[in-house]
Each structure stands twice: as structure tokens, then as C-alpha cells.
Amino acid sequence: MAAPIRVLTAVPICDGHDSAINTINLEFIRHGIEVVYLGYHRPVSDIVRAAIQEDVRAIGISSYNGGHIEFFAEVVDLLRKKGADDIKVFGGGGGTITHDDAKIMRRKGVDEIFFAGTSLEDMVKFVHQRYGKSRGKRVKPKSAEQELAHKLTEIEDAKGKIRNAKSEIQNAKVIGFTGPGGAGKTTLIDELVLRFLNKDKKSRVAILSHDPSVIGQGALLGDRATMINSQNDRVFMRSMATRGQAGGLSPATKDCLELLARSGFDYVIIETVGTGQEAMPFQKNGIVDQTVLVMNPDYGSRLQLQKIVMLDLADVVVVNKSDLQRAKTAHTEIEQRLEQNRRRQRLVDTVAKRHRDAGVDRLFDLISSSGKSKAVKERRKK
């Protein structure tokens, strides 16, 4: 089966009209397309950076607040400048983009503009026809970032059968985040990235983020929309759909992670999909150095805690959303549960959605101060 088409969608800066694109995203996903959604109020530079890192086939822009002729053209121009003009641009904006505007936009390199009244079916058909064919031989990448992005695509589409044997040295510390859907993993990672970037002005971070999908179907890869600090030239983020694999990761995760870990980043952060009680996404002695389980205070009762396998395995357990009422009880119950494990697991309370949260600072210290794990040291000795 051919690999799914990946597109990135976004709404331009100073524009909060995201209702149209949310509808379109959903329709795309239902028809087998993987959509990396960047969110609204996004500048050209963020859109182009994300499209290159995600190595999508095309960018779909939904624009309502005017300035579309310039905005779309700037996206096309920046892609060209970065040697990434194999990534195409299309979009719409209801009645705010006139037919005359669209003519100019097409002349400036935009593939297609969809007007008010177009059916969702027609848009899906367009994406399949225009971006569904195999890419064939690719142009030589213009930057290391682009090269990395292309390789990740090769690995993902070959289901992890491609290896890069160039360098076996893993320099990065790999940290795995898991936990139930909506617990705040992405928000927390974004706050930690801010601290990594501020602590060392030269450090570079990679993020490998997962969202669920069934084989042959699309996926909404939505973690980027939550990211603010991670929209940064020192951060390389890649979103992956699970493509039918259970357990929180994708069949290609391991190889993609290995490649990222030896691509010159100081930290590689991996986020699983929202997981259930039985999930154990990170293998023992695998490539992940430290595992963080992010919990929501509303997990149920003590009985539920007995069932969560990751509570036995995680190095650090975070009670996020500790601004919520149940957080204190959650902390006490989880603390007692962890005591039974008799391992040196750490428990931290955080409010990830608050800037400069002292709990997130504490978590950052735990992650950034503890050195490479035994596993990595051993791997390095080999």
C-alpha cells in the first residue's frame, strides 16, 4: 500500500478564523490523508520551517483577514529560497479571496485556490490527484535539516527498513514522554524546550511526536498546534502517525529515533500518543534514556493506579494540571503507589500551561542534570 499523503495546514498570522480549516482537516483525515496542523496565527517562517521538517507534499493555507496575495507569495518564495519548492502551496478563504486575486496568486506559484461553495469532496479529490503520486527522485537537499527530513520520510515510508550507517555515535540524551490523552504532554514538552534553549544558547533539540492512526487511514498530527516555544530554528520537530501500530508509537519510531539521536542534537524528546493502562511504549535497554509519565489528576481512584503499568516503569512521574482541585489527592495516592515499587522514582507536580511554573523548573532540573543513562554509556563503550 502506498504511503499516506502528508500535508501541513495553517492559518496566517493575525488571523483566528480556524473553523474552515478544522472542517477541511477532518475531511482530509477521513480520506486517508495525514494532516500536520500548525494552528492559527502563524507567520510565514513558522509555516515553512514546519513544512520542511515535516517533509510534507503541500501546505494548505486558510486565510480570511486579508493580505492573502502577499502571504501566500511569501510562503512560495521562502520555500524556493530554502530549496524546498517540491513542497506545493494551495488554500482558500471563502469570499475574501476573489477570482482576480486567485489569478495573481497562481501566477506567483500557488497551485490552487478554493472558493466559497466548493465541496469538501472536490478538495479531497484535488489533494489525491495532485499530491498522491510518488515523489520520484528527490532534489539534492540544500540544508542538513532538509536532508534529515528527507531521510525520516524514507524510513517512515519503508516501514523502518532503511538504515543510516554513517555514524553510530549517539550524542543526544533521549527522553520519552507518555501518558493519557490530554494530560498535557505537549504543553509540558514545549515549556521544557524553552528552558533547554535558554540554558544553553547553542543547544539544539529534536522532538518526535506521535498521534494515532489506523492502517490505510489518515491522522490529525496536532501537537505542533500546541507548540509555541518549539517553533524555533534550534528545534527540529517531526510528527508521526502510528499507522496501525498499537502501544503509542509507530513501526518506524525506533529507526527514526536512532537517526535523530545521532544527528547532532543535545536532547531528543519523544512523545507517544495518549496511552491507556496497559501501555509500555519504551522498551527496557532501548534508546530512551529517561522516561516521564505525565498524569492527569482525574485518573479515577486508587484502584486505577494499581493498573497503570507505566507507574512501575517510569523514571519520573508528573502530576500535571496541579492547578486542578484533585491534584493534592492525586499526589498523595501516586506517592503511595510509587513507594511500593521501591525504586528511586521521582514525583513532580506541574502546571504546564502556566509560564515559569516552579514545578516545571524542578522537572527540567531532573531531566537536564541527570547524566546519560547506563544504557547509553554502555552503548558508547561498544
Ligand X SMILES: Nc1nc2c(ncn2[C@@H]2O[C@H](COP(=O)(O)OP(=O)(O)OP(=O)(O)O)[C@@H](O)[C@H]2O)c(=O)[nH]1
**Which residues bind to ligand B12, rule: CB under 6 A?**
9, 15-21, 23-24, 60-62, 64-66, 90-96, 114-118, 123
| Alpha-carbon span 320 to 297, nearest angstrom | 7
Partner from ligand X, ligand B12, Mg ion, none binding residue 15, C-beta < 5-8 Å depending on class: ligand B12
Task: Tell me which amino acid residue 310 is.
Answer: M
Q: Is 252 helix (H, G, I), strand (E, B) or coil?
A: coil
| Alpha-carbon span 306 to 140, nearest angstrom | 52
- Specify the residue for cell string 509555516: 47
Partner from Mg ion, ligand X, ligand B12, none binding residue 123, C-beta < 5-8 Å depending on class: ligand B12
Is the Cβ of residue 170 or residue 291 nearer to ligand X in the bound state? 291
* Shortest spacing between CB 215 and ligand X, in angstroms: 20
Site for ligand X in 221-280 (CB under 6 A): 223, 226, 274
77 to 70, 143, 240, 274, 319: CA distances (angstroms): 10, 17, 27, 37, 45
Is the Cβ of residue 20 or residue 334 nearer to ligand B12 in the bound state? 20
Interface with ligand X (CB under 6 A), residue from 87, 261, 317, 352: 352
Q: Tell me if 298 contacts ligand X by CB under 6 A.
A: no
Instruction: Kindly write out the interface string for residues 311-330 of this chain, putting x where it contacts ligand X by CB under 6 A and - elsewhere.
Output: ---------xx-xx------
CB proximity list for 39: less than 8 A, separation 6 or greater: 10, 11, 18, 224, 225, 226
Partner from ligand B12, Mg ion, ligand X, none binding residue 64, C-beta < 5-8 Å depending on class: ligand B12
Task: Tell me which amino acid residue 101 is.
Answer: D
Task: Tell me which amino acid residue 271 is.
Answer: E
Partner from ligand B12, ligand X, Mg ion, none binding residue 296, C-beta < 5-8 Å depending on class: none
| C-alpha cell read off for 131 | 499530491
CB proximity list for 363: less than 8 A, separation 6 or greater: 188, 192, 292, 316, 318, 348, 350
Q: Tell me if 183 contacts ligand X by CB under 6 A.
A: yes
Return residues touching ligand X (CB under 6 A): 181-187, 223, 226, 274, 320-321, 323-324, 351-353
